[in-house]
Structure 1
Amino acid sequence: MIFAVGKLLRPGGADERRAAVLAWMTTIQALCALFFIGDVAFDLYAGDGQALGHLWMESFVAVVLLLGLGVLIVELRQLLLRMDRVTAGLMAARGEMAEVIEAFFSTWGLTPAERDVALMILKGLDNDSIATVRGRAAGTVRAQSAAIYAKAGVDGRTQFLSLFMEELLADPE
């Protein structure tokens, strides 16, 4: 998300421009709300004898601005999350699947040995073949596979593979 926020300073794509506009609108709206809240507080403190209706109207405007500010912040957050998902999908589509795989592995906290086994699973090797290639016992590979599936939150090899297929086939929208 920090990457996306950094892009707000120099927007390029449509989503980035939209995020920049929302960020500026949020800032301006926050300043307007502060002005109205400060004005109401000053009028109450000064006791200028202004009409009560005027103070209620300014208070109402301040509340509406704050509610709108909340909506803008939620929309901006959702837009930035969407931009992150689209960026991950584009990376996969551009042949940068290795970086996508590495991001998944890092998120799951796989050990170096588990990473090797997971890559071989993605390449289509079965546990016995992985054990032969790595010079380990098949039981060790089965245990590492089970640990990988648990960390990925899946029940087995098929679901594990489907995580990456979904990433490749995901619609950027």
Structure 2
Amino acid sequence: MTLRLWPVKTKERRATVLAGLILLQALCALFFVSDVVEDFRLDGKLDNPHLALETVAAFALISGVVFLMVELRALLSRMSNMQTGLDIAHGQLAGVIEEFFDDWHLTAAERDVALMILKGLDNDSIARVRKTAPGTVRAQATSVYAKSRTEGRAQFISLFIEELLAGSDHPDDGVRKLS
């Protein structure tokens, strides 16, 4: 299960709503500008309070359209930067996990079990997914904990969280902290 602070569809919906509001506001500005031009053409004077109010409204609407366009562009840029950051973080996490596993000399089966532990699966679920006996998974998990010098599932998971929060360059640094 993937948890996102702000679902992708919500961000896209917000951008679409903002674009719609910009379009609506632009149409209103066009109406007021054309009305001001027509009234000025007929009357030829700007001393009419109604005409002055329409001119101010048209200017405000145009200013709003420009402001909203800038905001929409900034929103789209932030969305792109956030996605890029998430992609980088995901790639870095995978790299950190692989470095740890390499340093601990985990077997392929132990790597599978360790990844599933990190994903939050319990031993019985891991056994079902891997089509092995729960006892085999328990033995492999125990081996993973021993090789990582952790005392169980919670400490094993916290090792990776601590590594990500600390931003350490070498996986052994996280192991030394817990020893």
Normalising to structure 2: TM-score of the pair? 0.44
Structure with more contact order per residue of length (Cα contacts < 8 Å, sep ≥ 6): 1
Normalising to structure 1: TM-score of the pair? 0.45
- Which of these two proteins has the greater Rg computed from alpha carbons? 2
